[in-house]
A and B are shown apart, each in its own frame.
Chain A
Amino acid sequence: MGNQLAIELVGITKAFGTKVVANKNVNMDLREGEILSILGENGSGKTTLMNMIAGIYTPDSGKIIVRGEEAVIKSPIDAFNLHIGMIHQHFKLVDLFTAADNILLGERMPDDYGKGPKFFRWIKFNHLSRDRVKKLQSTVDQYGFGIDLSRKIYDMSVSEKQTVEIIKVLYRGADILILDEPTAVLTPQEIDKLFAVLRKMRDEGKSIIIITHKLNEVMAISDRVCVLRKGEHIATVETAKTTEKELTDMMVGQKIDLNINRELPDNPKPRLLIRDMSVVNKEGRTVVNKVSFDVCGGEILGIAGISGNGQKELLEGIAGLQPKASGDVIFHNPKRDRPVTFYHHDLKKIKAMAAEGRFHYPNGERVDLTNIKNKEIIRLVEDEQILFYEDEIIDLKDKSPREIQELGIKLSFVPEDRLNMGLVGSMSIVDNMMLRSYRKGNSVFVNRKRPKQLADDIIRDLEVVTPNDMVPVRRLSGGNVQKVLVGREIASSPKVLMAAYPVRGLDINSSYTIYNLLNSQKQRNVAVVYVGEDLDVLLALCDRILVLCGGQVSGIVDARKVTKEEVGLLMTKVPDKIQNYTYEEMQEKGEDNG
């Protein structure tokens, strides 16, 4: 025991379609009686690799060797027969059934079951008696899981569902267990409990693979760590002989120079102020926890973080799409400037507001009243020739998503399943443009002229490959669909553009088109928020990077100075002292240098 191999993977490759290679020539092994962590960023192919061992996917090439013998695992049944059980991140449980039914589900009749002719044995086995459930319950109680198996799954908490999954896999006789991000949905106490169970199972001789991207958990639970990056196997190391720093370096890899055009932000002023935003999701978990930051006009603010750490909910909270969001979102609307004559009786207020930097001259220069006499101020205000302007300040708290959109705050979210959000697959590019503009115009009949113009502009400017503008969007390739999606939001001349994963699954050239689009928006003084997965892109494209970890801000850093490893560490752990990099800081430093 100990050194014998439970599973050995040799040269495993798996691709989805022609472009997305999920795993490339992966070699890996699992020893008997150990806990192996698989560590990697999003999209590094961890889950795909494990799904191939569990029979959900079949590899395109390569060998899977189980206990010394080459195995062909074509379906979950094959995996069961090899005593391999996987606990998926999204539980594979039937909500309507009791826990016992879920555990008994799909069980095959053992050859030595009962006596007599096979048919009668089968009838007896096929009958679902209450006794069997009782027997099952007593075995479960022996292990000390403490769960009532007669309860329905939809009544259970996430942690209880996970327990049911583990019991199910054990009941089916698995001695190789694969857990896909088991801690993502658990509270710290539940995680401790789970780890205790895992250690107990290891001591009983089971081999366990645990997929995770949390470094502290890797260090706490595993005997060895296997690091994947972009579908490739980087290294497998003994946990005791490595450090968190070393693992992070392996996980994020060397910095790649992407050569994206990036200019210094020109006179950035806060456009969107987010204060103490918290979002509670449907399951009642706090997914965004007291997040505060500013987004300035003329900058690209990157949001980094392992996916599922609150990025989506944060953006949706800003766009008014999360009903259970708390906190303030203040929007400084630059276009609706008003003359300050509005306040001309209240000198104190004018001074106070000027001190906050909320006024500017028509040429965009900021108004500074500290050295100007009161009389002069009144003259400036009342003289119709010289006008002060101020940003319109709008609290987005009580606005509906539609009102927020109409103010020019646009969210273009590219989900993993690209056609699912934002575009209607069976409609043409023109009709998809109209989804955003149909409210304009007073006629009952739709006006196709403008949307058609817009669609043609997008096709030309973004080089969308399509036979014509009337082809259903569903038939375009992924990259082209995304160009249409992002192009449509940009065409509405936004003031804040939030682009989440706009280059997800795109090839290099299309990605650069999108980067250039975002850059041109930045130059038009739009506040751009870019949520990305690839750290290299974030470091090369953005001006500042906000790092989210577990729904909290673990730092706002200068994208020009920060290193990949620093961001990587912030992504996995919230530091004690949280950095908040602002442009005032940048200007101060600039003055120091000059």
Chain B
Amino acid sequence: MIMIITQAIRFGIVFLYGSTGEILIEKAGHLNLGIPGIMCLGGVGGCMGAYWAYQGGAPAFIVVLLAVFMAMLFGALGGLLYGVFTITMRCNQNVTGLSLTTFGAGVLGFWGTQMGDKEILFAPASRYAFTPSLFFGASTPDNWFTTIFMSHGVLVYLGIVFAIVVSVVLKRTRTGLSLRAVGENPAAADAAGIPVIRYKYVSCILGAAIAGVGGAFYLLDCTRGSLEYVIDAMGWLAVALVIFSLWRSNISIFGSFIFGFLYILPRYIEGVGLAEKEILKVVPYAATALILIVISFFNKKETQPPASLGLPYFREDR
């Protein structure tokens, strides 16, 4: 059981990165369905960074740092691309996002095939830098508490820090207030003197950068360097988690554990056929649908998506 919870947290963090990024983007009024693709891009960047640093013989924390930096850079590039299309050119956000997903998954697939034997390439770097020993030292006592909360790589904690920071910024600061205003009513924000376009760009790029780290985390930490190309599938769950957590990244932390638990549960259930395990994978989506029904039932304005989510903004529109 302790094993399952530990794994649930670890997998949940992948969703947490994606949903924290997506929350930041959606709060600015942009529905980015390109999150799965951006996570793929981040995965590519993260692996590259970790591989280079490891080959160069850098200390462990530099390996992590470079991996995170490259993942954020690649993610940010995806976010910038999305921003240029949807903010400046005012393209349809759904179409742009979906094509970005296809693009990102394609890039990861292409790059993965080009790299050849991934096991040999990335597993050593992953074992070297993404182990808990970096964070807590090797001498932690072995009990249930440390197994659940302290046996993870450093990126697990970074994900939680990101989620908390985003939550605090959105709720407690003027910057967050302005950002939420942009997503709720860009005309009002504009009239109040908020640079709407700049806010939209910053949130699109920053959100994508955070989501990008999620991809790197999945490849380097969760799967220990073996490239299984299912990041985009996990990306969709991250988007679902945004709705599940009612656009709040602090709720998203707990939501991600639940999603992680539901995601890995089929692997640990004994005596169930393959088909039944496949069906169990539906549960997170079903839970999201249930949440949607419940919130529409209460019809509270605070639990609704940002009012101008998905709508382009142009000041001189009549």
Q: Which residues of A contact B (CB under 8 A)?
A: 16, 54, 56-57, 75-77, 80, 86, 88, 91-97, 101-102, 104-108, 125-128, 152, 154, 168, 416-417
Contacts and interface: CB of A to CB of B under 8 A. Distances in A.
A76 B193 contact: yes
B174 A126 contact: yes
Contact of A95 (B185, B190, B191, B192): B185
Given A105-B178, A154-B301, A94 B316 contact: no
Given A105-B178, A126-B175, A16 B318 contact: yes
A94 B184 contact: yes
A93 B174 contact: no
19 contacts: A56-B316, A75-B193, A76-B193, A77-B195, A86-B191, A88-B191, A93-B185, A94-B188, A95-B185, A95-B307, A102-B188, A104-B174, A105-B189, A106-B193, A107-B174, A128-B173, A128-B177, A154-B301, A416-B318
B98 interface: no
Contacts of A54: 191
Given A77-B193, A92-B191, A94-B188, A105 B172 contact: no
A105 B316 contact: no
B318 to A, nearest CB: 7
Nearest to B185: A94
A375 B112 CA distance: 103
Given A76-B190, A92-B188, A126-B175, A105 B307 contact: no
A127 B173 contact: yes
Nearest to A109: B174
Given A54-B191, A96-B180, A106-B193, 17 more contacts: A57-B316, A75-B190, A80-B193, A91-B188, A92-B191, A93-B188, A94-B188, A95-B307, A97-B181, A97-B184, A101-B177, A102-B192, A108-B193, A125-B174, A126-B173, A126-B175, A127-B173
Given A101-B177, A105-B178, A96 B193 contact: no
Contacts of A93: 185, 188
B303 to A, nearest CB: 11
B172 A94 contact: no
A105 B194 contact: yes
Interface of B: 172-175, 177-178, 180-181, 184-185, 187-195, 301-302, 307, 315-316, 318
A76 B192 contact: yes
A13 B51 CA distance: 62
A128 B188 contact: no
A75 B316 CA distance: 11
A92 B190 CA distance: 9
A121 B208 CA distance: 29
A381 to B, nearest CB: 61
**Interface of A: prevailing SS:** loop
Given A56-B315, A125-B174, A128-B173, A106 B185 contact: no
Nearest to A416: B318
Nearest to B168: A127
Contact of A105 (B181, B315, B318): B181
B177 A105 contact: yes
Nearest to B188: A92
A106 B302 contact: no
B173 A104 contact: no
Please name the 8 residue pairs, one residue from A and one from B, whose CB atoms are nearest each other, closest first: A106-B192, A92-B188, A92-B191, A77-B193, A106-B193, A105-B192, A106-B194, A94-B184
Contact of B172 (A76, A107, A127, A154): A127
A278 to B, nearest CB: 29
B190 to A, nearest CB: 6
Nearest to A93: B188
Contact of A96 (B174, B184, B190): B184
Contacts of B178: 105-106
A126 B178 CA distance: 11
B189 A94 contact: yes
A128 B178 CA distance: 12
B177 A104 contact: yes
A104 B181 CA distance: 11
Contacts of A56: 191, 315-316
A96 B178 CA distance: 13
A101 B185 CA distance: 13
Contacts of A96: 180, 184, 301-302, 307
A127 to B, nearest CB: 6
A104 B189 CA distance: 11
Given A96-B307, A105-B189, A108-B193, A128 B301 contact: no
Nearest to B318: A16
A107 to B, nearest CB: 7
Nearest to B317: A417
Contacts of B174: 104, 107, 125-128
Nearest to B176: A128
B182 to A, nearest CB: 9
Nearest to A90: B187
B285 to A, nearest CB: 27
Contacts of B194: 105-106
Nearest to A58: B316
B170 to A, nearest CB: 11
B67 to A, nearest CB: 29
A104 B178 CA distance: 9
Contacts of B193: 75-77, 80, 106, 108
A93 B185 CA distance: 8
The residue among B174, B177, B189, B302 with the most chain A CB atoms within 10 A of its own CB is: B174
A80 B191 CA distance: 9
Nearest to A154: B301
A16 B318 CA distance: 9
B171 to A, nearest CB: 8
A357 B90 CA distance: 61
Contacts of B181: 94, 97, 105-106
A104 B185 CA distance: 15
Contacts of B190: 75-76, 92
Contacts of A92: 185, 187-188, 190-192
Contacts of B175: 126
Contacts of B189: 94, 105-106
B172 A128 contact: yes
Nearest to A105: B192
Contacts of A86: 191
Contacts of B191: 54, 56, 76, 86, 88, 92
B86 to A, nearest CB: 19
A153 to B, nearest CB: 10
A96 B246 CA distance: 15
A208 to B, nearest CB: 18
A94 B189 CA distance: 8
A76 B173 CA distance: 22
A154 B302 CA distance: 11
Contacts of B187: 92
B282 to A, nearest CB: 33
A57 B315 CA distance: 8
Nearest to B304: A96
The residue among A97, A108, A168, A417 with the most chain B CB atoms within 10 A of its own CB is: A97
